[in-house]
Structure 1
C-alpha cells in the first residue's frame, strides 16, 4: 500500500510539474505573441527615425549650402556696391568734364569769331612788312603770304591750324634776321639779266656777286636801290658766300652796312 501510495504521489508530482511547465510555456508563448506587435512597431519607429534623420541631414546640408551661397552673394553685393559707388564718382567727374568742355566749346566759338579777323590783320601786316623789307627771297616770301591768304578761305582747315601756320610764317621772318644765307638767282645789271649769288647777312646786308666774281653790289636801304660795290669788296663777298654755304669756318667779314637814323 505504501509503495502504491508513494508511486501515486510521484505521478501526481510529475503531473503537476508537467502542468506547471505547460502553463509557463503557454504564458511565454502568450507574452511573445503580445510583444511581437510592439517590437514590430518599435522597429518601424526606428526605421522612420533613421529616415527622418537622413532627411534632416540632407536638409541641413542644403541649408549650409544655401547659407554659403548667401554669404558669397552678400560679398558680391558688397563688392558691387563699392564698384557702383566708384562708377558714380567717375560719372560725376565725367559730367563735370563734359560741362567744362561744353563751356570751352562755347568759348572757342567766341574766340574763333575774334581770332579770324586777327589772323587776317596779321597776314596783311606781314605782307606790308615783306614789301618794305630788304628784297631777299622775294618770290618765296610772297608765295608764302599768298598761301596764307588762300588758306583763310578754306573750310577744311581748323582755325587752330590756320593760326599755327600764320605764327609759323612770322617765325620764319624772325629767323631771317639772325641767319647767314647764300642763294642763287637772277639779277639785272646794266639792263642785262645775269646769274648771281646773293649773300644775306641777317637783315643787315644783302649783297650779290656774279658767278665770275667780276661784279658785286649791295642793297641800299635808304635809297631802296641796288648799288655797285668796288672790287675791293670782292674777296670779302666771296668769303661770306663760302661761309654761308658751309664751305668755310665762320670768320669776321668786312662788308658795307647802311647807316639808318
Structure 2
C-alpha cells in the first residue's frame, strides 16, 4: 500500500507544477496589456501636460494681444480726436484764407491812398531832407507794383514810413546839404527842430536863412542869431547839452527876426 501513496504524491506535484506554468502563461498577455495601458496612460498624460502648457501659453498670448488691442483702440480714439481737431482747424484756416483775400482786396487801395496822402503831406511840409523823403515815397510806389512782395510786408513798409514822418516832429537834427544862394549852389548846414524851425547856415557863417512855412519861402536871418544857431547845431550833433536858445519861429502873426 505504501508505494502506491508515494506515486500519487509525485503525480500531484507534477500536476501542480504544470498548472502553475499554465497559469503564468495565461497571465502574461494580461500583464503585457496592463503594461501597454500604463505606457499609453503615461504618454497620454505627457500629451495632456503639453497641451495644458500650450493652452496656458496661448491664454497668456491672448491676454497680451487683447491688452495691445485695447491700447490701440485708445490710441486710435485719440488720433481720431486729433484728426477731428485738425479738420476743424483746416476749415477755420480756409475761412481765414477767404477773409484774407477779401482784406487784401480792400487793403491795397487803402495803402495806395495812404502813400498818396503821405506824398501830398511831404510836398506841403517844411522842406527838410527832401531827397530822402521823396525817395522813400517813390520806393513805396515801386514796392506796391511788385508781385513778389507780400501784402503784409507792403503794409509794414507803409506804416514804417508814417512812423518816420511822425518821429520828425519830435526830434532835433543837424545835417549837411546844398542850397542855391544868390544863384550859386553852396554847401550849408541845416538845423531842424521838429517841424517848427528849419535854418541853414553857410560854411563861413556869413549867410543864414530860415524857412517861412506861412509864405513857403526862405528868408534871410539876422546875424544876431548866429551864436544861438551855432549852439543849436552843436546840440543837435550831441556836442553840447540841451539848453534854452533864442531862435525864430513863424506863426500867423510873427515874422522872421521878431
The alignment's TM-score, normalised by the length of structure 2, stands at 0.93
1:106 to 89, 94, 98: 98
Q: Distance in 1 between matches of 2:27 and 2:248?
A: 146
2:190 equivalent in structure 1: 198
Q: Distance in 1 between matches of 2:197 and 2:231?
A: 15
Counting only pairs closer than 5 Å after superposition, residues 194-233 of structure 1 correspond to structure 2 as: 194-233=186-225
Deviation at 1:19, TM superposition (A): 2.7
Deviation at 1:21, TM superposition (A): 2.5
| Residue 86 of structure 2 corresponds to residue 85 of structure 1 | no
Q: Distance in 1 between matches of 2:84 and 2:244?
A: 67
Deviation at 1:20, TM superposition (A): 2.8
Deviation at 1:209, TM superposition (A): 1.4
Q: Where in structure 1 are there 5+ consecutive unaligned residues?
A: 1-7
Q: Distance in 1 between matches of 2:94 and 2:252?
A: 53
| Residue 155 of structure 2 corresponds to residue 163 of structure 1 | yes
Range moving further from structure 2, 90-99 or 59-68: 59-68
Tell me which structure has the larger Cα radius of gyration.
1
Q: Distance in 2 between matches of 1:12 and 1:206?
A: 176
1:133 equivalent in structure 2: 125
1:3 equivalent in structure 2: none
Deviation at 1:13, TM superposition (A): 4.4
Kindly provide the CA deviation profile for residues 124-176 of structure 1, in whole angstroms up to 9, marking residues without a partner as x. Answer: 00000000000000001001111111111111111111111111111111111
Counting only pairs closer than 5 Å after superposition, residues 56-67 of structure 1 correspond to structure 2 as: 56-67=48-59
Kindly provide the CA deviation profile for residues 188-218 of structure 1, in whole angstroms up to 9, marking residues without a partner as x. Answer: 2222211111111111111111222232221
Kindly provide the CA deviation profile for residues 63-92 of structure 1, in whole angstroms up to 9, marking residues without a partner as x. Answer: 111111111111111111111111111111
2:256 equivalent in structure 1: none
Kindly provide the CA deviation profile for residues 32-60 of structure 1, in whole angstroms up to 9, marking residues without a partner as x. Answer: 11111111111111111111111112211
Q: Where in structure 2 are there 5+ consecutive unaligned residues?
A: 254-258
2:41 equivalent in structure 1: 49
Range moving further from structure 2, 190-199 or 245-254: 245-254
Kindly provide the CA deviation profile for residues 72-123 of structure 1, in whole angstroms up to 9, marking residues without a partner as x. Answer: 1111111111111111111111111111111111111111111111111111
2:12 match: secondary structure? helix
2:230 to 212, 227, 238: 238
Q: 1:196 to 1:33 in 2, by over 3 A?
A: same
2:143 equivalent in structure 1: 151
Deviation at 1:178, TM superposition (A): 0.9
CA RMSD in angstroms comes to 1.5
2:102 match: secondary structure? helix
Range moving further from structure 2, 46-55 or 246-255: 246-255
